[in-house]
């Protein structure tokens, strides 16, 4: 993988960000984490950790097509590659794997 994602990866990113955008409103309305967990499970069939992750990434990158079009979902979750992408650097699969290994 180079600096551009494949079509399949792009579809996954777009689908996950749209889901995250849908989860932002219930997250803001929920009075507690427990209530948000129930909403995420009941409405979307997601475990609360995954739901919160989708909402977090959507908040950070929902309107950043310049970033989301160049990184796959794993890299967006890691959230350490934004500066490199904007600087025009190439972010490769090995970079993402190495980042996963770091604490």
The answer to whether residues 54 and 20 touch, using CB atoms and an 8 Å cutoff, is yes
Residue 19 has pLDDT above 80, yes or no: yes
Distance CA 78, CA 80 (A): 6
Q: Measured between alpha carbons, how far is 46 from 68 in angstroms, rounded to an integer?
A: 22
Record the pTM: 0.73
CB-based burial label for 40 (10 Å; 0-12, 13-18, 19+): buried
At 44-100, the pLDDT tens digits run 999 888 898 899 899 999 999 988 888 888 888 776 666 677 677 777 777 777 766
Neighbours of 75 (CB within 10 A): 26
Q: Which residues contact 52 (CB under 8 A, 6 or more apart)?
A: 23, 27, 36, 40
User: Residue 1's pLDDT is what?
Assistant: 41
Q: Once rounded to an integer, what is the mean pLDDT over residues 29-44?
A: 92
pLDDT at 22 over 70: yes
Q: What is the pLDDT of residue 74?
A: 82
Mutual orientation of helices 48-61 and 7-29 as an angle, nearest 10°? 100
pLDDT band at residue 101 under the 50/70/90 scheme? low
What are the Cα distances from residue 64, in Å, to 26, 45, 93? 22, 27, 21
């Amino acid at each position: 993988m180079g600096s551009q994602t494949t079509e399949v990866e792009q579809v996954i990113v777009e689908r996950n960000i749209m889901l995250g955008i849908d989860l932002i409103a219930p997250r803001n309305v929920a009075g507690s984490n427990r209530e948000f967990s129930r909403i995420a499970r009941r409405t979307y069939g997601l475990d609360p950790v995954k739901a919160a992750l989708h909402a977090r990434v959507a908040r950070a990158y929902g309107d950043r097509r310049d970033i989301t079009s160049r990184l796959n979902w794993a890299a967006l979750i890691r959230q350490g590659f934004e500066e490199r992408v904007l600087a025009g650097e190439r972010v490769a699969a090995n970079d993402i794997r190495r980042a996963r290994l770091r604490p």
